[in-house]
């Protein structure tokens, strides 16, 4: 049981909240089921206060006191937080106008339409246009990466992607470059990602709140809101990462993950996130093949099993059981892999067993 000193008690819009010491106002609001808008905050990343959309007021501090970023300010006992005052709402609308003043208006064809936090907030706060006219950033879309498309014009400088690269993947491939209006979140010397130490995990894509980073293989194949979601387990190794298959009929459009997964917390490797092309590949075998007169020809399952049994028996008689090796697959179930090793050890008599995930 937590000691009294380990918790703080405060009010969020007059709702009493008790939360662990060190938690932010944003976390306290979430516990009170009060939504505070944000673009930069993420449950697995260090708060930065970059977007300034989560600003709130503290009751009793007077009209001249500055608004504070709820994601970066720790909750304190006795606080009375007001999340949707006129000042806070006006400040959020101003920030949204500034963001939209340098943001493309191609929502009709944007991959993130319907799944874009900026779009959702503009709708919620009724910001359809911007009063601020002037210089616009113009950047070419970077498609050099086989898995990730980077559209710098849509970047809102939330810094999530760089934080994910640094704090979750520990690769430190991307960071801020430039100053002021010319600031970009990109790789060192603005190099294409394939020329850096990027491991193509796609974690930066998964945390991007807008369409600045999108997946190349699923481009124009369907928006996330229109696809069926199926939670399952990644087949590539024994870690057991949770994945979400986004499908259109019998075809996988993209693979995402769950931030609340106790195993991988939203992280995936390049194979788990992008290596699903084999599922619907036309090159997949649909019938067993056996070699006759030097060529592989289709056969029935009975013929194939008989050929394998005869080959194993002949090899064991001529060279011994240790001349035979078994390679299992992580795409099989635990039960199937168990039966394979049991057949190798008890049936054939060899301990020469390996798994593709170890290679």
CA–CA gap between residue 110 and residue 214 (Å, rounded): 10
Average pLDDT across the chain, whole number: 91
286-306 tens-digit pLDDT: 899 999 998 999 999 999 999
The answer on pLDDT for 330 being more than 90 is no
The answer on pLDDT for 195 being more than 70 is yes
Query: Residue 359: what pLDDT?
Result: 55
Q: What percent of the chain has pLDDT over 90?
A: 74
Query: Residue 5: what pLDDT?
Result: 66
Q: Which domains does the chain have, with CATH numbers?
A: 4-84 (3.10.20.740), 223-284 (2.20.25.90), 289-358 (no CATH)
Query: Residue 304: what pLDDT?
Result: 95
197-227 tens-digit pLDDT: 999 999 999 999 999 999 999 999 999 889 9
The answer on pLDDT for 316 being more than 90 is yes
Q: Spell out the long-range contacts of 242-249 with Cβ–Cβ below 8 A and sequence spacing 24 or more.
A: 243/268, 243/272, 243/273, 245/276, 246/218, 246/222, 248/221, 248/222
CA-closest candidate to residue 261, choices 224, 332, 206 = 206
CA-closest candidate to residue 199, choices 239, 258, 140, 148 = 148
Number of alpha carbons in the 13 Å side-chain half-sphere of residue 136: 13
Query: Residue 157: what pLDDT?
Result: 93
Query: Residue 136: what pLDDT?
Result: 86
Query: Residue 306: what pLDDT?
Result: 95
SS3 state at 13: coil
9-66 tens-digit pLDDT: 999 999 999 999 999 999 999 999 999 999 999 999 999 999 999 999 998 766 678 8
91-145 tens-digit pLDDT: 999 999 999 999 998 898 999 998 999 999 999 999 988 888 888 888 999 998 9
Query: Residue 3: what pLDDT?
Result: 55
CA–CA gap between residue 261 and residue 231 (Å, rounded): 10
DSSP letter at 183? -
């Amino acid at each position: 049981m937590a000691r009294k000193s380990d918790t703080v008690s405060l009010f969020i819009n007059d709702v009493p909240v008790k939360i662990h010491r060190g938690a932010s106002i944003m976390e306290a609001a979430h516990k009170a089921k009060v939504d505070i808008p944000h673009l930069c905050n993420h449950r697995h990343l260090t708060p930065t206060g970059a977007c300034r959309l989560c600003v709130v007021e503290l009751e009793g501090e007077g009209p001249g006191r500055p608004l504070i970023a709820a994601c970066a300010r720790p909750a304190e006992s006795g606080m009375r937080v007001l999340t949707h005052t006129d000042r806070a709402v006006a400040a959020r609308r101003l920030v949204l106008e500034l963001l939209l003043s340098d943001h493309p208006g191609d929502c009709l064809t944007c991959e993130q339409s319907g799944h874009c936090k900026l779009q959702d907030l503009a709708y919620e706060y009724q910001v359809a246009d911007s009063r601020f006219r002037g210089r616009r950033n113009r950047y070419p879309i970077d498609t050099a990466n086989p898995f990730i498309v980077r559209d710098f014009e849509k970047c809102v400088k939330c810094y999530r992607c760089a934080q994910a690269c640094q704090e979750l993947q520990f690769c430190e491939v991307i960071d801020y470059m430039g100053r002021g209006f010319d600031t970009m979140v990109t790789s060192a010397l603005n190099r294409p990602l394939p020329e850096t130490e990027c491991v193509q995990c796609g974690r930066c894509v998964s945390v991007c709140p807008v369409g600045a980073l999108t997946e190349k293989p699923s481009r124009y194949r369907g928006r996330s809101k229109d696809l069926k979601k199926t939670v399952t387990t990644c087949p590539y190794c024994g870690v057991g990462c949770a994945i979400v298959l986004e499908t259109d009929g019998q075809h996988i459009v993209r693979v995402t993950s769950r931030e609340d997964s106790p195993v991988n917390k939203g992280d995936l490797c390049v194979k788990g996130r992008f290596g699903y092309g084999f599922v619907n590949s036309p090159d997949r075998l649909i019938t067993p093949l056996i070699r006759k007169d030097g060529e592989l020809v289709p056969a029935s399952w009975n013929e194939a099993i008989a050929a394998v049994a005869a080959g194993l028996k002949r090899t064991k008689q001529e060279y011994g059981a240790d001349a035979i090796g078994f390679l299992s697959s992580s795409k099989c179930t635990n039960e199937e892999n168990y039966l394979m090793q049991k057949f190798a050890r008890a049936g054939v008599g060899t301990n020469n067993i390996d798994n593709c995930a170890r290679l």
